[in-house]
Amino acid sequence: MRAFTFERARSIRSAAESASNNPGSKFIAGGTNLLDLMKLEIEVPTHLIDVNGLGLDKIEATSDGGLRIGALVRNTDLAANDVVRRHYGLLSRALVAGASGQLRNKATTAGNLLQRTRCPYFYDTAQPCNKRTPGSGCSAIGGVTRQLGVIGTSEACIATHPSDMAVAMRALDAVIETTRPDGTSRSIPIAEFHHLPGDVPHIETALEKGEMVTAVILPKPIGGKHIYRKVRDRASYAFALVSVGLVIQADGTGRVAVGGVAPKPWRVDAADAALPDGAKAAWTQLMADARPTDDNRFKVTLVERTLAAVIEEARG
């Protein structure tokens, strides 16, 4: 690990200012992803800004009946929160499907959204990787791609986003609240928060220099039955090959988001419209532009079968 300086932020504004003034800086929350990447010298920040002491660890009702989740709320606390379990069951289920109990005790809401990909070549510093070293090439293309993306990928990068929580938040239309170095805040719909790779896979989100995530806002509950199904190589402590987050309302309308297949949680409006009776139609819409490799073509079938299974479960 390389040497770095460390600062405990005293306010949200000063944290964002410090991040803007120190080009090599990174925010640190639970550290469960960042510290691993630093040990491997994939991330080499020169300055760490600890944002744990800023009081951003609260879950509060919003005036319009929704929920404001502080950026530093731990995954364990969010999954166990009464309101989340009762009204946003999809989110609670997705959270407990992720990582392990110990990791969830440390992992935060913002850190989970901003975790980096699990592409094996991204972790192997001896291999070219456009995400790690822009312009160096993509070792995954033509390599071992079983875990990698089938949709939303590009000629420069075929990695997936590994978060379970983000899949649920995408289905629930979450909005990311941020503060910029000048003190202004903005709200970014989760659909626009994560970027597709295009020619610049190292640019992963809509965040600007120094911009800090302060909260995630969930709109008021939409009711219905909430199911999160994660298919993986081991029953626990493994990232999704494919995951499906489904909300089916009493009137038969629904929402579906898919994880493990794309550089961001994947949701298609036309797929929502086809639910619940048109499981096959919904899958066709979801996977319409899939470009699988020979190694990961099975994911397209796995999405179809997992979606059919969760719809069956929803019907009781």
Ligand X SMILES: Cc1cc2nc3c(=O)[nH]c(=O)nc-3n(C[C@H](O)[C@H](O)[C@H](O)COP(=O)(O)OP(=O)(O)OC[C@H]3O[C@@H](n4cnc5c(N)ncnc54)[C@H](O)[C@@H]3O)c2cc1C
Where do contacts with ligand SF4 occur on this chain (CB under 6 A)? 117, 119, 121-122, 129-131, 138-140, 148, 157-159, 201
| Residues within the interface to ligand X (CB under 6 A) | 26-34, 36, 51, 71, 98-99, 103, 106-108, 110-112, 114-115, 162-165, 212-213, 239
The Cα 39–Cα 98 span in angstroms is: 22
- 16 contact choice in ligand SF4, ligand X, none (CB below 5 to 8 Å, kind-dependent): none
The Cα 258–Cα 242 span in angstroms is: 7
Residue 36 CB, shortest distance to ligand SF4, in Å, is 15
- 107 contact choice in ligand X, ligand SF4, none (CB below 5 to 8 Å, kind-dependent): ligand X
Residue 150 CB, shortest distance to ligand SF4, in Å, is 12
- 307 contact choice in ligand SF4, ligand X, none (CB below 5 to 8 Å, kind-dependent): none
| Cα dihedral value 183, 26, 24, 12, nearest 10 | 20
Q: How far is CA 248 from CA 81, 126, 168, 217, 251, in A?
A: 22, 46, 13, 21, 8
- 163 contact choice in ligand X, ligand SF4, none (CB below 5 to 8 Å, kind-dependent): ligand X
Q: Where are the alpha helices (DSSP H) in 179-297?
A: 190-193, 269-274, 279-286
Residue 283 CB, shortest distance to ligand SF4, in Å, is 24
Environment class of 294 (CB within 10 Å of its CB; exposed 0-12, middle 13-18, buried 19+): exposed
Closer residue to ligand X, CB minimum distance, 91 or 248: 91
Closer residue to ligand X, CB minimum distance, 32 or 92: 32
Closer residue to ligand X, CB minimum distance, 213 or 290: 213
Closer residue to ligand SF4, CB minimum distance, 201 or 276: 201
Closer residue to ligand SF4, CB minimum distance, 73 or 261: 261
The distance from CA 201 to its chain's CA centroid, rounded to whole angstroms, is 15
- 117 contact choice in ligand SF4, ligand X, none (CB below 5 to 8 Å, kind-dependent): ligand SF4
β-pair partners for 216: 69, 176
Token pair of 245 as six digits: 């987050």
- 98 contact choice in ligand SF4, ligand X, none (CB below 5 to 8 Å, kind-dependent): ligand X
The Cα 287–Cα 150 span in angstroms is: 9
Whether residue 221 has a cis bond before it, omega within 30° of 0: no
The Cα 18–Cα 151 span in angstroms is: 37
Residue 153 CB, shortest distance to ligand SF4, in Å, is 8
Closer residue to ligand SF4, CB minimum distance, 113 or 148: 148
Cβ neighbours of residue 102 closer than 8 Å, sequence gap 6 or more: none
Length reported for the chain: 316
Residue 292 CB, shortest distance to ligand X, in Å, is 22
Closer residue to ligand SF4, CB minimum distance, 112 or 130: 130
